Structure 1
């Protein structure tokens, strides 16, 4: 965003100017990439894609009840098999719902929360301090954005992090261990919040990274957030330049998520794509909404309130039908040389953001 420094995940920071495609500060971004990916020891080698799924919790059957074998309550048949008593009636299956009820996100809810990675303070609010306290803080902030809607807190965890080094498979990304994802999924459930798994793909296939998270996405309280500025083409390195996606690729991801929703009878899932500049998302007119998926375009970046409003207007201008809007704020960087926008100011944006994320 104009007028400040853009901090985006483990790949570091970039200055922002009035140009649609500012030049990154490669040295600083590379330093942060190395610190986040290697120094903390939180991320697994990207050549081990099964590390998440192996420890992922089993998906609850539709309705959220655990299946168990019958036993004891029926009468034995002549063959010895137990049968239900004549008065027993089949139990109606309860369809899975969102953490705070219902199966549609909008217009009932406004999503508000924090993003980050535990132990990596430079990557966002969620990664600082006690996660339990951060989740409680997100709940409080969410209520300040209610404005006629029900607040739904969000924990946006960096699940795939772009790196400045290639790694064993040359994909320039690392995956957050399953144990960390599980920990935050349990925390989200305890707080009746949504867990969003953020993907910074590096040179890896975006759709492959989404599919690697399938074991989590089959739960009714887990969605996806994409950071396409960290999606590199062949020959590009995270931290040196903006990445890029387009409407066709976003539609492919939305179709995959829609298929999971249909297969598991899940409630509507959020699919967020963060956009720091107009150049990051091409051919947006080709984006096609999919059943069961709420597509959210989130304006990303750092700057003063006036500069953030200007970028917002550019990014939402001529936006395709069927998209919802999001807005990102930075506790520290937005306040440097200026101030953090208030909830009242954010809610005055038009269209009004339906997802507000703090980093």
Structure 2
């Protein structure tokens, strides 16, 4: 019988849970806590006569999460389990000290799902050996001390019996074979799409024999009629003492199955950031400094995951369309321009109220091709590059906040989003961004930098396409991230315009680690469809996956202007932000 994890417990005291859950205060009369109302009156002997009432939407979830009893064998703070190659080895190492049995799948989703289905019922670690990682998987089998190995598909063709591995069973991929292996009757459940495989794996339970089979084809059955040996089933592990485990569509099937085989509760997130929506925040509320496991590097580091949880609890203001992230969760369609009139873009072609109607109509045209909310937006030019130096000599006109606020108010009051665009001339992006701090403190206002109009101290606008180095971009992003954090704002859009590679010098050195910001690369190319696609594809080469792509449609410079359907169904990947100029 396999050795069980130590029963030592990390018991969270009931009094501590109550304080966390109810937000008790004893020595403060402050009422400015996020999501809390009321005040505590303190008597002469120092006793509190009332409590701050926690109105957070996560109050009940927090209380339940922090009251969980977790074995001390697990890390005591949020931890991300890397799964390079989707082998599931690291997850196996964390959950199982040893195991008499192990299930290994070969290449193919169908094989992985079949192995997962068997492994969960058998309480066995599940590993994935598609070829290329055979040594790693074999080493884990040896560490586990497994005496019986079930191979599904073409896994580990060179694995041989030895002093430890006394039996190797080759699954034949048939319904009869499954019954011979387990002496159980499995109910087949079809997985509709690739996007559903991890979600469905996370629902597997040892008490219900479910065989997951892809709708596009199952495991290729072996032609042999040889009866399979029985695959022994292990006793249930003490999964009730494991931390909550997070998975997302990018998690490995085998890693998820191993956690479920141990008995851990796996909570599936549509996107690997708990701030995506309130449902995901409830999964992790209260666990920023408690045991929590996340399957896959898409969750970032453990420290980053903890910071996201903490921030998600502090900032409960939601963005238009719901949730605390700019992207994903919604897409945006924007009119670009300046309040002064049509010369600088489509937004200024009509008064603010009429521009909102126009942007909303555009968003509605896009909505029919998208399941996520598509919200209207304005990209408002706040500083405009100038042919003359101006009084300050920086070749940029900085418009006062009061000139912009009508359009910002109009679009945000309508449930939309505003992005302030900077064309700095010889000025720095940072000094210009600070001019609009008042507007940027609003939750539905982001910032865009346009390096096309960033020129050197001895240059003039229009003599060349401008540029900005990553170091300057990083200065602005740091300032903006600090502003968001200090003012407890939801995540903010940070947009970088580009249509030539030289516009963003050392682009690979742009720091995208700020969890307060959604980094957006806005492709400004215009012309024929072929020209636009060429620019789009060039800009995506070597681009950090942390960036969300944006697309611009030009009314006059494109021939023809893309339709909403073309923009969403022919541009790949589908842009998160579309603007019209």
TM-score range normalised by the length of the shorter chain: 0.7 to 0.9
Task: Say whether the 8 Å CA contact 2:335–2:378 is kept in structure 1.
Answer: yes
Q: Secondary structure at the match of 2:494?
A: strand
Q: Secondary structure at the match of 1:254?
A: helix
CA-CA distance at 1:343 after TM superposition: 1.9
State the partner residue of 1:113.
334
State the partner residue of 1:54.
none
Deviations 1:74-126 (A, max 9, x none): 99x99xxxxx9x78853636732213432112221111110101233121100
2:378 is the alignment partner of 1:155: yes
The partner residue of 2:573 within 321, 340, 351 is: 351
The partner residue of 1:296 within 497, 520, 526 is: 520
2:366 and 2:521 mapped to 1: Cα distance?
A: 18
Task: Say whether the 8 Å CA contact 1:62–1:265 is kept in structure 2.
Answer: no
State the partner residue of 1:171.
394
2:503 and 2:51 mapped to 1: Cα distance?
A: 58
2:468 is the alignment partner of 1:239: no
1:1-359 aligned within 5 A = 90=53, 92=55, 95-146=316-367, 147-289=370-512, 290-334=514-558, 338-347=559-568, 348-359=570-581
CA-CA distance at 1:183 after TM superposition: 1.1
2:335 and 2:320 mapped to 1: Cα distance?
A: 17
1:285 and 1:254 mapped to 2: Cα distance?
A: 15
Structure with the bigger percentage of helix: 2
Deviations 1:4-50 (A, max 9, x none): xxxxxxxxxxxxxxxxxxxxxxxxxxxxxxxxxxxxxxxxxxxxxxx
Between Structure 1 and Structure 2, whose CA radius of gyration is higher?
2
For normalisation by structure 2, the TM-score amounts to 0.46
Runs of 4+ aligned structure 1 residues displaced above 6 Å come to 61-65
1:248 and 1:229 mapped to 2: Cα distance?
A: 16
1:64 and 1:209 mapped to 2: Cα distance?
A: 33
Aligned length: 285
Q: Secondary structure at the match of 1:233?
A: coil
Higher relative contact order by CA 8 Å / sep ≥ 6: 1 or 2? Answer: 1
CA-CA distance at 1:321 after TM superposition: 2.5
CA-CA distance at 1:223 after TM superposition: 0.6
> What is the RMSD of the two structures over their aligned residues, measured on CA atoms?
2.6
